[in-house]
Amino acid sequence: MTHRKRLRRARRLASLAALAWGVAGAACACGPQALGTARTIEIGGPATEIGLKTYPRTLKLDDGEFVLTFDDGPNPPTTDRALRALADECVKATFFLIGRNADAAPDTAKAEVAAGHTVGHHSYSHPGVTLRNLSEAAAKADIDRGIAADDRATIGAAGPQPTTPFFRFPGFADTGPLDDWLMTRGITIFGADLWASDWLPMTPDAELALLLGRMETARKGIILLHDTHLSTVQMLPALLREMKKRGWRIAHIVPGKGPTPLAPAPANWASETEKTLEHLWPKAPPGPGAIGTSGEPGPL
């Protein structure tokens, strides 16, 4: 079977599964008490860079609307808990996979797609020094290897283009040439609007309080979490219940025709990425160098 045919078949099965799951969900697991998924937003048209932590624009969302994204999985012990928590509330999210984790846990990656979640890409090795500190050729190879690993894990085949053209840089550490290279291929680059700082050691209660406070201030946005962190998956059920209580809603991003609905950053906007990188990777040497990809993944 050609890649294109496999892709069409996978998409057909996914939409049938989503339909069946939605009907079943509406009938039993997801009554009016569940948070649910309020709407789906198609990402498409000219590829762009999205997320106020790094870029001067984000997704156009309504007040009280949030997009949940999870990085660094799949990691079965914690990712399975996240999937259960999301299923219990009929919430759809987006998982940005590390390719080598998808290679190691293809069944978990498949379960994400089967449950109707979106699977984007987050490099193959999540190099400890970030992609920014690899040579451009090495960074491109790591990105493409990651996309291929994710597609192999989820649909059983990898072609020249990703099934879902969504990418997030490890540590948000992009470069101009890599951004241009991805966007020329129609791949949208996701940053985030807010996060739970879940790379710091925290109790689930502390993480929940921190995130809810930030959500209350932001009122909307793309949230970055990590399904590899126990504290995050432990606090997730309470987060979803609390969102329901406060009247907040979930928007789910999927690849589509677009154009992507965008909103410009406020006038006083400034990127937080450089200072975050300095804080999280103070010892990372500046500029491209002959650094391998064997370092431990950074916290983002």
Rounded to the nearest whole angstrom, what is the least distance from the CB of residue 24 to Zn ion in the complex? 33
Of the pair 128, 221, the CB lying nearest Zn ion is at 128
> Residue 30 and residue 24: Cα distance in Å, rounded?
8
Query: Beta-strand (E) ranges in the chain?
Result: 39-43, 49-50, 57-59, 65-71, 94-97, 118-121, 166-167, 188-190, 194-195, 221-226, 249-255, 262-264
Yes or no: say if 263 and 60 are a contact pair by the CB < 8 Å rule. yes
Of the pair 55, 248, the CB lying nearest Zn ion is at 55
User: What is the signed CA dihedral for 110, 115, 119, 125, rounded to 10 degrees?
Assistant: -40
Of the pair 25, 170, the CB lying nearest Zn ion is at 170
Write down the residue that tokens 């219990």 correspond to.
88
Instruction: Pick the piece of the chain touching Zn ion (CB under 5 A) from 63-71, 75-83, 101-109, 262-270.
Output: 63-71
Rounded to the nearest whole angstrom, what is the least distance from the CB of residue 80 to Zn ion in the complex? 19
Yes or no: say if 90 and 25 are a contact pair by the CB < 8 Å rule. yes
Total of residues contacting Zn ion (CB under 5 A): 3
User: What phi and psi, each to the nearest 5 degrees, are found at residue 221?
Assistant: 145, 175
Rounded to the nearest whole angstrom, what is the least distance from the CB of residue 248 to Zn ion in the complex? 25
Rounded to the nearest whole angstrom, what is the least distance from the CB of residue 71 to Zn ion in the complex? 4
> Residue 70 and residue 223: Cα distance in Å, rounded?
8
- Binding residue for Zn ion (CB under 5 A) from 170, 191, 221, 237? 170
Rounded to the nearest whole angstrom, what is the least distance from the CB of residue 101 to Zn ion in the complex? 10
- Binding residue for Zn ion (CB under 5 A) from 49, 72, 142, 198? 72
- Binding residue for Zn ion (CB under 5 A) from 49, 71, 89, 144? 71
> Residue 101 and residue 214: Cα distance in Å, rounded?
30
> Residue 185 and residue 165: Cα distance in Å, rounded?
9
> Residue 232 and residue 87: Cα distance in Å, rounded?
16
Of the pair 74, 170, the CB lying nearest Zn ion is at 170
Of the pair 65, 71, the CB lying nearest Zn ion is at 71
Of the pair 46, 77, the CB lying nearest Zn ion is at 77
The residue sitting closest to Zn ion, measured at its beta carbon, is: 71
- Considering the rule CB under 5 A, would residue 198 count as an interface residue with Zn ion? no
Of the pair 172, 248, the CB lying nearest Zn ion is at 172
Which parts of this chain interact with Zn ion (CB under 5 A)? 71-72, 170
